[in-house]
Amino acid sequence: MAASGMLQRRDMLKLLTAGATAQAMAAHNALAAAPGQKLNVLMLCVDDMRPQLGCYGDPYAKTPNMDKLAARGVLFSRCYCQQALCSPSRTALFTGLRPESSGILSIGPHFRDTLPDIVTLPQHFKNHGYVARGIGKIYHNGLDDPKSWSAPHENTKVSGYTAKGQARLKERLAEAKAKGIDIKDKNKAPYGPAYEDPDCADNELLDGANAERAIEILREIKDKPFFLAVGFSKPHIPYVAPKKYWDLYDPAQFKFPDNQYPPKGAPAWAVQGLGELRRYDGPPQEDPLPEEWKRKLLHGYLACISYIDALIGKILAELDALGLRDKTIVILWGDNGYQMGEHGTWSSKHTNYETSVRVPLIVSVPGMKTAGRTSHALVEFQDLYPSLADLCGLSIPQHVEGTSFKPLLENPDRPWKKAAFSVYPRGGYLGRTIRTDRWRLVEWRKQKGGDPVVYELYDHQTDPQENVNLADDPKYAATVKELAAQLAAGWKAARPD
């Protein structure tokens, strides 16, 4: 593993084994809980939702409830996940460890296999007298963490497909099995329909049912300090949402990215193809993807975002009805970015590019004087653990590899950290990337180590879509060298002064 300023796994194990104590208590101020009062935390976790929301300036997305939340909080325009894949991204957020430190750079294994004593974010709140509850997709499906919760994590048994969609999935699995395909292999088994637009109630699909249960949980725990995480499975493909949300959009009006091609000069392995999309029932196998399917995919993606927006609105309305908004921090995030045509990729992430690692983040804190403001500071998912602990007056565990952004909630325009870091393994290489105010550098090495194989350099001042790799241009040799040194120095060296 390349030196990066991050804790190495062996150091982390030593730290945990030694039972390291927490840092000093964060000082109280206008955004901290008053003496004797504990602020609640309501965390809204959305799968594969990039910053394609009305409050982020998207011309199509109809997201009135998330827009209202942004008006009551601070919107972060440049927040980055640490890896553009569900499990590593969520593991990093909830453990406080970056992927290279935890060793979790794929869907599995479970982080407890190598870090059995790590204290997760909800577990930290539980240890400080909070009721910690979770429903829906919080950790990756099938990789829940019982130690994190005061009561078992919940997920209703309602399907994300309609009965028709479930039947089609069974047919496809049977067809694959008859052809000798190992359908137990998650990398080979076919998926169900790519989309459905049923005329049904919200709660007839998984996310709607989970939202109803989340409201019930709120009523159960309203009289105790709580940390409640509610996870939504959409807008991750397959795009299944009630018809009324599809009817919000006219796909004939959609315009698509003008960079539906790989970045010029990028290594072949750096770009994600359409293999994942084509495992779903419907999308054709030929290249390029037909125009009608591009419109269908974006239509479904936006319909699912509006569906989740409506469910979030119901939960926030209940929070208000219970009189809890004035003592509850509300935080909304999407676990990774998403590509809808950019660089030729549809309905996927799995890269180190801006479209894959930039994520939505909105934080609303009772009593904040900066409600409705936007912060353009560089922040990371690693900062959520220390920020929430800081805001609630809790200690910040020493293992946490992030920085509390509470000062940004008080002054969104203040100077902040110098860079954000992400990582992604592809094609036998490990790509590590640094995003500064102007630049993105990606450094590729063989996963087993060794010297850098190739660099990618993108100038966001002149090329915000990251279409041209400048790394091999002699004019930028000094810039590559400087950024590579920043990347090697790691997150600690990038912290705000």
Catalytic residues: 86, 140
Using a 10 angstrom Cβ sphere, with 0-12 exposed, 13-18 middle and 19 or more buried, the burial of residue 35 is exposed
Which residues are CB-neighbours of 114 under 8 A, at least 6 positions away? 9, 13, 102, 103
147-186 in b/e form (b: 16+ CB < 10 A) is ebbbeebbbbebbbbbeebeebbeebbeeeeeeeeeeeee
Dihedral (CA of 68, 74, 77, 80) sign: negative
Quick one: tokens of 366? 């009772």
Looking at this protein, which amino acid is placed at residue 108? G
Quick one: tokens of 238? 């397959």
| Among candidate residues 187, 350, 354, 359, the one with its CA nearest the CA of residue 270 | 350
Strands 74-80 and 374-380: parallel
Only one residue has tokens 């790590």, namely 118
> What is the 3 state secondary structure string of 63-93?
CHHHHHHHHCCEEEEEEECCCCCHHHHHHHH
66-97 in b/e form (b: 16+ CB < 10 A) is bbbbbebbbbbbbbbbbbbbbbbbbbbbbbbb
* Strand stretches in 264-389, DSSP E: 328-334, 339-340, 346-348, 358-364, 374-380
- What is each CA distance from 64 to 6, 18, 211, 302, in whole angstroms? 39, 48, 17, 13
Pairwise CA distance, residues 97 & 17, whole Å: 16
Which residues are CB-neighbours of 128 under 8 A, at least 6 positions away? 394
